[in-house]
Amino acid sequence: MDAQGRGQADDNNVDPADQWVFDPDTGNYELRTDPSGRPPARPDDRPARGRCGAAGGAGGEDTDTRPLPVQRGRRKGADAGAGEAAGGRAARRAAARSGSGPAGRGAASRRKPKRASGRRKALYWTAGVVGFVLVAGCGTAFVIYQQLDGNIKKVDVGEENAAVTDGPVNLLVIGTDARTGKGDTGYGDSGSVGHADTTILMHISKDRTNATALSIPRDLITDIPDCPTKQPDGTTKVIPGQRQVRFNTSLGQEGRDPGCTWRTVEKLTGLKINHFMMADFNAVKDLSNAVDGVEVCAAKDINDPKSHLRLSAGRHVVKGEQALAFVRTRHSVGTGSDLSRIQLQQQFLGSLIRKLKSSAFSSPGKLLDVAQAATKALTVDTGIGTASKLMDFGTDLKRVDLNKITFATVPVLDNPRDKATVVLDTAKAEPLFRMVQQDHALAKGAGKGKGGKEAPVKKAPAELVRVDVTNGGGPFGAAQETVDWLQNDKGARLSTNAGNAPEKLSATRLEYAPNQADQAATLAEWMGLPKSALKQTARDAGPRVPMKLVLGKDFTAPGTPIEAPTETPAGVQHVNADDKNICAK
């Protein structure tokens, strides 16, 4: 980089090397970019400094980082420049003695400047070069951060979670059908206020070994809770909830913002969301262009007059409008429903992730293209509402291996009352939600190895199981209902209702002594308790001391296992993000 980057060399015919001028008062070279020869601004005249110490007002300027010029004419101690400087100093001293110098600079006040040592000059030069390199590098980074920050749109949903957390992460990804983007008038409903057209809840495990992406059908009939939304004037308006309506109306309808979709998904799945990202049609077009196309596969010819997608059977690289048409099409694939379109979207996203991991980050330029495209298309919550927070968030999540990311669709059934909508398949969906809630992976081989099998614990007979049951977050009357079930269905006559627990628990807990391990094994099997629910005390208990079972918020009903399955429930559609053999049928 040189002065020509600032447009000065062309206008003034200035060689950048000539901008380094020797200052006889300091014995050092200084950069003077002003062709008039005026000295550089003093420290108190410099603009405020920004990130990395780069001057806030000069973030876009280039800086000459070529080696400093040699001190011209210095040979064997007879440096002409130094001689001229010495002559200049002698002339000034003579002028001072004669009273012809500038006012206030008499002989008594004028001191002879000390000549800088060779070592000190070397330090000046080294510090100067390093300083300019750092300022140039940090200044560029500062400008890029500013640009990316300016791209990102934020919505205050009343939750501002930290960008990075030690626990599991639940990210809500929303694609809207609003026609807000340039060139998007041919897509979506012409009068749409921007519904939740595509919604994916991505769960990243606590140890970052795996991730599950749950697609939520837009036509699912569900309940939308009351939703507080921030208004332009800073006030908060609560939008009343609705029962048994389409899921996609959780956004846009009645003025609902992404926070309403956030709360709807939490109510549906029982998962606590950390962050959301929302994008319109332009996200698919711009991101696919930024990575030079995404490979997709069609098992048969596709000709959809609605989305205008035409693909012959086989593999294709799509980008821009064609990429958007691919994720929007549904009439020529599968059953022609939104469920078939979800499978296309999962195929596209898996291929996009593979492309990003394999090539998009191979160069700074490509990375910047992707970052620009992504941030321009995104609306996020305030917790990840800056470029630096978004980078921290992405750095934390990128630790997940590609082959440990699983896409799945929330199980649904045709709605007998309305063929255009679907209802939750509770028998399959509830175990799936519990798997995610308890951080179990859908991907095979993900997570920590189980190691050798533990020796089975001998189980006590029902008549010896002695337990006090308390309600610490379960449904009203859960303790008595559980005791009735234990006594009447299981034959555990020594079970007792001990009322309400002193505190609320998010998860059910069973406390037992070492000499009660056989009783605990029996009760855990009956209740379907996970290992995390079992808490063994340090000392043995007396013969008539009961175990303590506290029903937590995860308890639904006796006989319904609390432990989540470790295998994906049968009939749940799911694919691996690293599977390159998926083709639209």
Judged against a pLDDT cut of 50, whether residue 521 lies above it is answered with yes
Confidence of residue 170 (pLDDT cuts 50, 70, 90): very high
Choose among 485, 512, 481, 504: nearest CA to 552: 504
Cβ-Cβ contacts under 8 Å for 249 (sequence gap 6 or more): 195, 196, 224, 242, 256
Q: For residue 383, what pLDDT is reported?
A: 94
Does the structure show a pLDDT above 80 at 202?
Answer: yes
Mean pLDDT of all residues in 174-197: 63
Lowest mean pLDDT among 185-194, 299-308, 456-465: 185-194
3 state SS of 424: strand
- The pLDDT, as a whole number, for residue 15 is 42
Residues 293 and 134: their CA atoms lie apart, in Å, by: 36
pLDDT at residue 50 greater than cutoff 70: no
Mean pLDDT of 161-167: 92
279's enclosing H/E stretch is: strand 275-279
| Span 155-166, average pLDDT | 93
Residue, of 366 and 272, whose pLDDT is higher: 272
Q: What is the mean pLDDT of residues 433-443?
A: 87
The predicted structure's pLDDT at residue 11 = 43
Is the pLDDT at 290 greater than 80? The verdict is yes
Residues in Cβ contact with 22 at an 8 Å cutoff, skipping those fewer than 6 apart = 28, 29, 71, 81, 85
- Measured between its terminal Cα atoms, the distance across the chain in Å is 54
Rounded CA separation 391/210 (Å)? 20
Average pLDDT taken over every residue of the chain: 77
Contacts of 487 (CB under 8 A, 6+ apart): 493, 495
User: What is the 8-class DSSP label of residue 240?
Assistant: P
Give the orientation angle of helix 118-151 with respect to helix 364-377, to 10 degrees. Answer: 40
Most confident of the following: 157-171, 386-400, 441-455: 157-171
| 399 residue type, one letter | R
Question: Residue 63: which pLDDT band, with cuts at 50, 70 and 90?
Answer: very low
- Rounded to the nearest 10°, the torsion over CA 68, 73, 79, 81 is -70
Contact 303, 330 (CB under 8 A): no
- Residue 153 CA to residue 378 CA, distance in Å, equals 6
The mean-pLDDT minimum among 148-157, 462-471, 492-501, 545-554 falls in 148-157
Of 39-43, 264-268, 312-316, 520-524, minimum mean pLDDT range: 39-43
Where in the chain do CATH 3.40.630.190 domains reside? 154-442
pLDDT at 363: 67
Q: Which pLDDT band, with edges at 50, 70 and 90, does 35 fall under?
A: very low
pLDDT digits over 293-339, tens only?
Answer: 999 999 999 999 888 899 999 999 999 999 999 998 988 888 888 89
For the chain, percent of residues with pLDDT exceeding 70: 69
The predicted pLDDT at position 96 comes to: 47
pLDDT tens per residue across span 365-408: 777 787 888 888 889 999 999 888 888 888 888 888 888 999 99
- What is the predicted pLDDT for the residue at 530? 86
pTM of the model: 0.65
pLDDT above 90 as % of the chain: 46
Instruction: Report the range of poorest mean pLDDT among 66-80, 252-266, 429-443, 459-473.
Output: 66-80
- The CATH-assigned architecture of domain 462-551 is 2-Layer Sandwich (3.30)
Measured torsion, CA atoms of residues 465, 467, 471, 472, in degrees rounded to the nearest 10: -110
Q: Return the pLDDT at 397.
A: 84
pLDDT for the residue 236: 94
Exposed e or buried b per residue across 10-23, where buried means at least 16 C-beta atoms within 10 angstroms of its C-beta: eeeebebeebbebe
Whether the per-residue pLDDT at 512 is higher than 90: the answer is yes
- Fold topology of 154-442: Aminopeptidase (3.40.630)
pLDDT at 495: 97
Where are the domain boundaries for CATH 3.30.70.2390 in the chain?
462-551
Give yes or no for residue 261 having a pLDDT over 60: yes
Residue closest to 547 by CA, chosen among 564, 532, 534, 565: 534
